[in-house]
Amino acid sequence: MGENIKVVVCGACGRMGQEVVRGLMQADNLQLVGAVDVRCVGMDIGIVLGGEAVGIEVSQDLRASIDKNNPQVMIDFTVPNVAMEHARLALSAGVFPVIGTTGFTMADIDELHQLCERTGLAAVVAPNFAMGAILMMRFAREAVRYFPRVEIIEMHHDAKMDAPSGTALKTAEMLAEEVEQSPGSKGGFIDKLAGVRGGDYHGVRIHSVRLPGLMAHQEVIFGGLGQVLTLRHDSISRESFVPGVLLAVERVTHAKGVIYGLENLL
């Protein structure tokens, strides 16, 4: 069923990494050949997942894993500084990166553009791999043309390291590309608590919530004369991201340059 793409996963022992590993093991045209993490080093990744051994030991050295297993694609769900280093290493070795780690700066994206141009490869950087979230952003981009004001509320589990989320920032960027937001009410408005109105990103206010019990949720709220429109997406489990990750793996090897956002592969 199509080409057999060899894949190494960085952050394989993390919560998202484990879901990606499971997805790869069930895919017909993708082959997990390497698992990289600073945890569970030397353990079989199948045992880490709570199942039977699959003959792939967790390594803490991406370069060694690439040299040994010759993957075509690297998936990364780690932390920003580590993910950027992994991307540099992968591209220099002729491996296509698919990055789900959030917290990348525009300077990071610019560097990836330069590296991809130099190597002739492609890299996918996606703030969110859930199809529903991609559709929410697309619908928001359409709706913003018809409302004078919009704000974003993003809610995640309390272990998420960055705020606001990459999805919220990407959404705000997409909205700003359509219209310039009006400044809203200025006269007499008093902030009784610093930051209570959220962060201003390209004219769009973003509010971040971090609580146990949450997974990944976002509302885009539009306000107009006598009406409010709310678009909301909820990821109930990390499984929601796996189909998008696998789609990116399948398509990145046929692309060029940096693909910022999964919507650019749909």
Domain assignments of the chain as residue spans, ordered by start: 5-125+239-265, 131-235
Confidence of residue 188 (pLDDT cuts 50, 70, 90): low
Which helix or strand (DSSP H or E) is residue 230 part of?
strand 227-235
Of the candidates 27, 13, 1, which has an alpha carbon nearest to the alpha carbon of residue 245? 27
In whole angstroms, what is the distance from residue 108 CA to residue 103 CA?
10
Tell me the helix, strand and coil percentages in the chain, rounded to 5.
35, 25, 35
CATH ID of 5-125+239-265, from 3.40.50.720, 3.90.1310.10, 3.40.50.1370, 3.40.50.280: 3.40.50.720
Residues 213-241 pLDDT 10s: 999 999 999 999 999 999 999 999 999 99
Q: What is the CATH number of domain 131-235?
A: 3.30.360.10
Q: Which of 6, 113, 160, 202 is catalytic?
A: 160
Rounded mean pLDDT, 37-51:
94
Whether 1 has a pLDDT exceeding 60, the answer reads no
CB burial readout 203-221, b (16+ within 10 A) else e: bbbbbbeeeeebebbbbbb
Q: Which of 86, 156, 217, 233 is catalytic?
A: 156
Rounded mean pLDDT, 28-41:
95
Confidence of residue 69 (pLDDT cuts 50, 70, 90): very high
Judge whether 184 and 130 are in contact, CB under 8 Å: no
Judge whether 4 and 29 are in contact, CB under 8 Å: yes
pLDDT attached to residue 195 = 86
In whole angstroms, what is the distance from residue 242 CA to residue 262 CA?
12
Reported pTM = 0.84
In whole angstroms, what is the distance from residue 166 CA to residue 154 CA?
10
Active site residue 156: yes
Residue with tokens 């789900």: 100
Token pair, residue 85, equals 């280093």
Active site residue 160: yes
pLDDT attached to residue 88 = 97
Would you give the DSSP letter of residue 257?
A: E
